[in-house]
Amino acid sequence: MIVLKAPEEIEIMRAANVIVAEVLAELRAAVRPGVTTADLDRIAEELTRKRGAVPAFKGYCVAGRVYPAALCASINDEVVHGIPSASRPLREGDIIGLDYGVIYRGYYGDSAITVPVGTVSAQAEELMRTTREALEAGIEAARPGRRLGDLSSAIQAHAESRNFSVVRDFVGHGIGKRLHEDPQVPNFGQADRGIRLREGMVLAIEPMLNAGGPEVELKEDGWTAVTSDGSLSAHFEHSVAIIEGGPYVLSCL
């Protein structure tokens, strides 16, 4: 069931997502060689609690598996849900996906960025740029009266025009009083297909693109998804409200 949000609810979600955006900005500034993903996790949780919110992912349960950290930190071939570790310092040339969410006044905020660690390869730069642009293309299509497939196909078309592949196994989602609500928001599909987008819908739009093939595998920790061929992966996400005037990006500063 799709839950439409009233304007006052959307503004609370805006406040939650501003906290997410502020935390991600601080994390971006902290990324450098030698920093561990556990360091980043600690920073994220401290900043969140200082702002009167709580981390959304810590303790999140799926099929009996409980996520152990506040931050998802995915390095290089890790697509999503990388678990922070004190034993894995970042290295020059890495790229790292930082996916973060909070709960504030009963509502969720959720956003993600991928950032370079020092100087990275030309391929890594192009992958990150294309993934960010694919997100922007999807957001542009998130307007009342359009169909969900318009959003999905816009993401896919931009990704594939740059010879990158779109991950099929993970998709975006509705968001509100729960982290994952209906509808699912694929990053691939056909235009003019799927449900009509309506005012009051709030979607977490999150393309995940691979430099190689789209296939992914799950690591033994039960959370971390990696590319099957070892290629680089990038992930960007915004929480977006669909309103009369067009898409309202809640998770930007």
Q: What would the pLDDT profile of 214-229 be if each residue is shown by its tens digit?
A: 999 999 999 999 999 9
- Find the CATH number of the domain harbouring 31: 3.90.230.10
The answer as to whether 77 is a domain residue is yes
The answer as to whether 127 is a domain residue is yes
The answer as to whether 224 is a domain residue is yes
Strand partners, 28: none
Q: What's the pLDDT at 63? A: 87
Whether the model pTM is above 0.95 = yes
Q: What's the pLDDT at 145? A: 97
The answer as to whether 222 is a domain residue is yes
Q: What is the pLDDT along the chain (253 residues), one digit of tens a residue?
A: 999 999 999 999 999 999 999 999 999 999 999 999 999 999 999 999 999 999 999 999 998 899 999 999 999 999 999 999 999 899 999 999 999 999 999 999 999 999 999 999 999 999 999 999 999 999 999 999 999 999 999 999 999 999 999 999 999 999 999 999 999 999 999 999 999 999 999 999 999 999 999 999 999 999 999 999 999 999 999 999 999 989 999 999 9
**Structural domain count, the chain:** 1
Main-chain phi, psi angles of 86, to 5 degrees: -80, -10
The answer as to whether 30 is a domain residue is yes
Q: What's the pLDDT at 49? A: 98
The answer as to whether 1 is a domain residue is no
The boundaries of the domain holding residue 52 are: 7-249
The answer as to whether 2 is a domain residue is no
